[in-house]
Amino acid sequence: MTLYIIVPAAGVGARMNADRPKQYLTLAGEPLMKRTLERLSMAFEGAELVLGLSAGDPWFDSSWLDGLRWRRAPGGNSRADTVRQALDALKGCAHEDDLVLVHDVARPCVTVADLLALKAAAQASPDGALLATPVADTMKRAGEGARVLRTESRERLYHALTPQGFRYGLLSEALYRASQHGNEGITDEASAVEALGRSPQLVPGRRDNIKVTHPEDLALAEAILAAQSTPSTDSRGMT
């Protein structure tokens, strides 16, 4: 069984208010994308990487992938379209039962231990699997004017993280069907698979697997990377 890793990296990261897409901003002295790819290669030596990139991307440097098996796929108008096009790029070489992991390019702090745990769970589950953490904060539903409408129960609520892993055939079918409905309601790969009536496995992940979305997240990610370089308490805590 071949392991494929898809990294959609065609977004512009508008909320960062930067002069370039967020995946190319500097994190601890290196481009954020390079930090993310380093984590993936540490856990999955020998896997084939598929990068979904915008056409004419002036920031990408292929030297970050020296020594890795990789190919480029065209970016789409949405994350779902980018992942679907990456799957299309594997037609003719990927088998239905090959495992595909999809990881956010803006999650550079995922640990090798979590990556390996997710891969094992995705291999064992016919419906695939995703890293997740239980919601810890009180959840509020907003009404008009951003006033509190009610408090929502956080029981059995989880934050979906990445990677998310599925068999090639299942994920391809899920994203193809989603595209026929304009990707409505599809916010990650798991939601597309759920739309087929399947139930992916939740895998306990560390809370420091943050997604860099806002400017202040860069400093937080840098602090996390520094903390991870020294022994620390495991921050999983799924119940």
pLDDT digits 0-9 by tens, 178-206? 999 999 999 999 999 999 999 999 999 99
Supply φ then ψ for residue 42, to 5 degrees: -65, -35
Task: Express as a percent the part of the chain with pLDDT over 70.
Answer: 96
CA–CA–CA angle 77, 60, 73 (5° rounding): 45
How far apart, in Å, do the first and last CA atoms of the chain sit? 32
How far is the C-alpha of 34 from the C-alpha of 61, rounded, in Å?
9
Instruction: Match 């996390």 to its residue by tokens.
Output: 224
Alpha-carbon 156 to chain mean position: 21
Identify whether 17 is part of a domain. yes
Nearest alpha-carbon partner for 89 in 44, 48, 130: 48
Is the residue at 148 inside a domain? yes
Under the banding of pLDDT at 50, 70 and 90, the label for residue 116 is very high
* pLDDT tens column, 69-79: 999 999 998 99
Q: Say what the pLDDT of residue 201 is.
A: 98
For residues 92 and 114, what is the distance between their CA atoms, to the nearest angstrom?
A: 30
Helix (H), strand (E) counts: the chain: 6, 11
Q: How many domains in the chain?
A: 1
Confirm whether 235 is domain-assigned: no
The answer to whether residue 239 sits within a structural domain is no
Q: Is residue 236 assigned to a domain?
A: no
Q: What is the mean pLDDT of residues 2-25?
A: 88
Domain span holding position 38: 3-228
Report the mean per-residue pLDDT for the chain. 93
Task: Say if 234 falls within a structural domain.
Answer: no
Position 233 in a domain: no
CB distance 55 to 75 below 8 Å = yes
Q: Is 239's pLDDT higher than 70?
A: no
Reply yes or no on whether the pLDDT at 233 is more than 60.
no
| Whole-number Cα distances in Å, 127 to 94, 133, 138, 166, 198 | 18, 19, 30, 7, 6
Q: Identify the pLDDT of residue 237.
A: 47
pLDDT of the residue at 232: 53
Residue 164 in domain: yes
Give the tens place of pLDDT for each residue, 37-47: 999 999 999 99
List the CATH number of the domain containing 105.
3.90.550.10
